[in-house]
Amino acid sequence: MATEKQFNKGGRPPKTDPCRHRYSIKLNDTDNVRFLAMFDETGWNDKAKFIKACLFKKEIKYVKSDMAAMDYYMRLTTFHSQFRAIGVNYNQIVKHLKATFTEKMALAMLYKLEKATIELVSINQQIVELTREFEGKYLLKQ
């Protein structure tokens, strides 16, 4: 009978080292709040794995992401690409003015363009100041 073929009865294959030992603890309200706060910081889904990591002093790694900071940087990146596009358009306008208009008309248009450029530079300086202020308040210091 040892040589007979064993039939698969279905289901999940058995684990090589199953967890058979179970322990139970009870926490008071304050300890439970502390435990849940620590667990929530990790962002893990499995409390058992978290407890094992704490018991055996394994390194607990978690990533804490600030959605406001991510949103700010995404908007800043979008704005930077628009700012670069304005620079490209600026160069094209100057070339077009030089090629198609008389010198007097081109100077008048360039004067208007210069005013708009000064306003754009002041807005850019405000953005840089806001970014430095944001980094000082919200980003971790290394």
pLDDT > 90: percent of the chain = 4
So what's the pLDDT on residue 139?
65
Smallest CA-to-CA distance from 36 within 25, 47, 26, 48 is with: 47
* Structure-token match 């889904």, residue found: 45
For residue 29, pLDDT beyond 50: yes
Which region among 31-40, 56-65, 117-126 has the lowest average model confidence (pLDDT)? 56-65
So what's the pLDDT on residue 64?
66
For residue 142, pLDDT beyond 50: no
CA distance 128 to 142: 21
Domains of the chain: which residue ranges?
24-64, 67-138
**Average pLDDT value for residue range 89-100:** 84
Q: Which helix (H) or strand (E) holds 90?
A: helix 67-100
So what's the pLDDT on residue 46?
87
Smallest CA-to-CA distance from 106 within 117, 95, 115 is with: 95
Structure tokens at 53: 């990591």
Q: Which helix (H) or strand (E) holds 125?
A: helix 103-138
Amino acid at 59: E
Q: Model's pTM, two decimal places?
A: 0.42
CA angle, 83 then 140 then 65, to 5°? 75
For residue 135, pLDDT beyond 80: no
* Structure-token match 């849940």, residue found: 36
pLDDT tens across 53-93, in order?
888 877 766 666 667 777 877 887 787 777 778 878 888 88
CB atoms within 10 A of CB 79: 13
**Average pLDDT value for residue range 108-131:** 82
CB neighbours of 135 closer than 8 A, spacing ≥ 6? none
CA distance 56 to 49: 11
Q: How confident is the model at residue 99 (pLDDT cuts 50, 70, 90)?
A: confident
